[in-house]
Chain A
Amino acid sequence: MTDFKLREPSPDWERIKKTVGLEEPDRVPLLEALVEYPVQSQFLGREVAPDDIKSQVEFYYKAGYDAVPITVSAMAFGKVDDASPISKVIREKMLKDESDKEDMTKWSLEYASFIGDRQDFENFPWEELEKPELLSQLYEVKDYLPEGMKVIANSGKIFTLVWMLMGFNNFATKLIMDEQFVSDVFRKVADIQLNLLDKIFDIPYVGAVWIVDDLAFGTGPIISPQAYRDHVFPWYKKIAKKCHENDVLLFQHSDGDLTSLMEDIIDIGSDLLHPIDPTCMSMREVKKKYGDRIAFAGNVANELLRSGTPQEVEERVKELIKNMAPGGGYCLAAGNSVTEWGKFENFIAMLKAAEKYGKYPVRF
């Protein structure tokens, strides 16, 4: 268990709302789409499992966050493991041979794909991805949520789900050689995500939807900007519209160099972009160019959290707050997620530095 203690946790969703609205609240908010469970476990001094929502809420509360991220979709942030709903669906509905269920290479979308052609598409058990059980953690969290805190629903993943279901090479070649087919798969996955959103909006303590969908490599977009405009961004736009009609914010995460997609992302209507991948983008430049139209979160590099010292992490947090926070529009977060392979002491250094330097007005 860590000796780190905030003076007094004071979660306040309005802090994030104000920041995203490009105003200065009392403090620079902390925000993450995922703090891996071993990190949460070390923080609390007891094991936190993926289904232990009570402990997760306790972690985010005690660490100083204003919101708890909950996955409400077929695919969670991070690795596709046996806890991912999509894995359960594939294991239970797609595998014929019992022994394959024990073999991760047979069911994990990181190894295997399931929609090769139109027949696979027709036969896929899509209805399983819309089952109300996917929202169970979102309902459960209500019992534990402290006053002031809200929930961020990690949902709306479209691009990654489509290419993973199809297999990357199959997806990429068919995107050009059989575009209608790929378009149909996109439509199906997007419809499912939109239907789920309708259920999410009925829950009053959901403050934001966070689309975690990697669109780029460190060298640039995975598919052409035009292909995103044709097949992915119109769906994000619908999600943004629905969110805003329901007074819910829309956050977006993508790794990689998004420079050539920035105008599109703003046009979609996303309220916040995360994490401005520190390995290939400059947060200062992005803020300078787009900071009056969209808010940002992130940029404390995961490599720094892995190999740096707590002093270096503190310096980086200070620098980010100094450059990014004045005028609002910035939440402090890691350069991807808080991973178990980063040093725990560096995560704590990040939280401490947020407390030390994050008070508005920023003066140092």
Chain B
Amino acid sequence: MGNTLLDSNRRMETMSEHLDKIMEAVISGKHAEIEALVQAAIEDKADLDQIINDGMISAMDIVGQKFAENEIFIPEMLVSAVTMKKGLEIIRPLLKGDEIKSRGTLIMCTVKGDIHDIGKNLVIMMLQGAGFDVIDLGVDMNTEELIQKVEEIKPDILGLSALLTTTMPEMKNIVDTLKDKGLRNNVKVIIGGAPLNAAFAEKVGADGYGQDAAEAVELARRLVKEK
């Protein structure tokens, strides 16, 4: 009995060490080391969900926070995402059904007339890092086509991005069109972009605004739970 407890404690310690190392590798973007670290955890029979959730997704949450606080910048954040992806590729074939459980589905794009996609791409990367499925419809998205895609794909959330004050008004047009087509209650709408704020989100009838990628992830989590 005593030995079993000891073994169990030792095992927990080992698991925790593995997870700490994986987490640290993702946070620091150790892309060359992650595969070996994940492999070692798997060989020690670590729980795969735990590696994904407590090792990597939690690490990306910290990365998002560090980014929001200007401790790290886009390159570091991108390399963390690359690192996580490399880790996930080791785990993916071992998961039952070959699928990582999705936290929800989003459609993302920049609105009509706006081709600035750096912000949108960062948000997508962080959402993927947090376990969401994201369909990226790119830039300068025609509103009619976008509505068709919402009808077809039935995402949990529609994420709209705009950098220009001149393209912001298109967001209201999109929300209004969703209402007119009777689709508004089926999808949450979130918006982001440098000139926007929460008041603007309310004004255009969106469900939320994210100031940065980390906030967007939190918002998506909350809205999917509410659905």
Q: How far is the CA of A260 from the CA of B69 in the complex (A)?
A: 12
CB distance from B212 to the nearest CB of A (A): 7
The answer, yes or no, to whether B58 is at the interface (CB within 8 Å) is no
Assuming the A-B contacts A218-B194, A219-B212, are A173 and B82 also in contact, with contact meaning beta carbons closer than 8 angstroms in the complex?
yes
Residues in A308-364 with C-beta less than 8 Å from chain B:
341
Is the Cβ of B78 less than 8 Å from the Cβ of A224?
A: no
Q: CA separation between A173 and B76, bound complex, in Å?
A: 8
Report if B182 contacts A (CB, 8 A): no
State whether B82 touches A227 (Cβ < 8 A).
Answer: no
Given A176-B79, A303-B165, A306-B165, check contact A221 B73 (CB 8 Å): yes
Number of interface residues of A (CB under 8 A): 23
Q: How many angstroms from the CA of A176 to the CA of B75 in the assembled complex?
A: 7
Measured in the bound complex, the distance between the Cα atoms of B70 and A221 in whole Å is 8
With most chain A CB atoms within 10 A of its CB, the pick from B31, B78, B195, B212 is B78
Shortest B55–chain A CB gap in Å is 21
Contact present for A223 and B73 (CB under 8 Å)? yes
Q: How far is the CB of B171 from chain A (nearest CB, A)?
A: 17
B199 interfacial contact with A, CB 8 Å: no
Chain A nearest CB from B6 CB (Å) reads 42
Question: Which residues, 206 to 225 on B, are CB-close (under 8 Å) to A?
Answer: 212
Q: A217-B194, A218-B194 are in contact. Are A223 and B79 (CB under 8 A)?
A: no
In the bound assembly, the distance between CA atoms of A177 and B81 in angstroms comes to 13
Contacts of B115 in A (CB 8 A): 110-111
Taking the closest CB of chain A, its distance from the CB of B59, in whole angstroms, is 16
Write out the residue numbers on chain B whose beta carbons fall within 8 Å of the beta carbon of A279.
194-195
**Which one, A172, A227, A303, contacts B78 given CB within 8 A?**
A172
A126: chain B residues at CB < 8 Å are: none
B interface majority secondary structure: loop
Q: Which residues of A contact B194 (CB under 8 A)?
A: 217-218, 279
B64 within 8 A of A: no
- A25 interface contact, C-beta 8 A: no
Q: Confirm or deny: A220 has a beta carbon within 8 angstroms of a beta carbon on chain B.
A: yes
Which has the most chain B C-beta neighbours within 10 Å: A173, A220, A223? A173
Bound together, the chains give a CA A168 to CA B120 distance in angstroms of: 12
Please tell me if the beta carbons of B73 and A177 are within 8 angstroms of each other in the complex. Answer: no
- Asked whether A177 lies within 8 Å of B121 as measured between CB atoms, the reply is no
By a CB distance below 8 angstroms, the chain A residues around B72 are 224
Q: Is A89 an interface residue (CB 8 A)?
A: no
CB distance from B83 to the nearest CB of A (A): 10
In the complex the two chains form, what is the Cα distance from A306 to B168 in whole Å?
A: 14
Residues on B with beta carbons closer than 8 Å to the beta carbon of A223: 73-75
With a cutoff of 8 Å between Cβ atoms, the chain A residues found around residue B29 in the complex are 176
In the bound complex, CA of A50 to CA of B118 (Å): 28
| Cα(A64)–Cα(B179), bound, Å | 51
Report the separation of the CA atoms of residues A31 and B75 in the bound assembly, to the nearest whole angstrom: 34
Contact (Cβ within 8 A) A220 B75: no
Q: Closest CB-CB distance, A111 to chain B, in whole Å?
A: 6
Contacting pair A172 B75 (CB below 8 A): yes
A228 to chain B, nearest CB (A): 10
Contact B75 A175, beta carbon cutoff 8 Å: yes
Q: CB within 8 Å of B: which residues of A?
A: 110-111, 168-169, 172-173, 175-177, 217-224, 227, 260, 279, 303, 306, 341
Closest 5 CB pairs of A and B: A172-B75, A220-B70, A175-B75, A224-B73, A176-B79
Can you show 11 pairs from A to B with CB atoms below 8 A apart? Answer: A110-B115, A168-B121, A172-B74, A172-B78, A173-B78, A173-B79, A176-B76, A219-B70, A219-B212, A220-B73, A279-B195
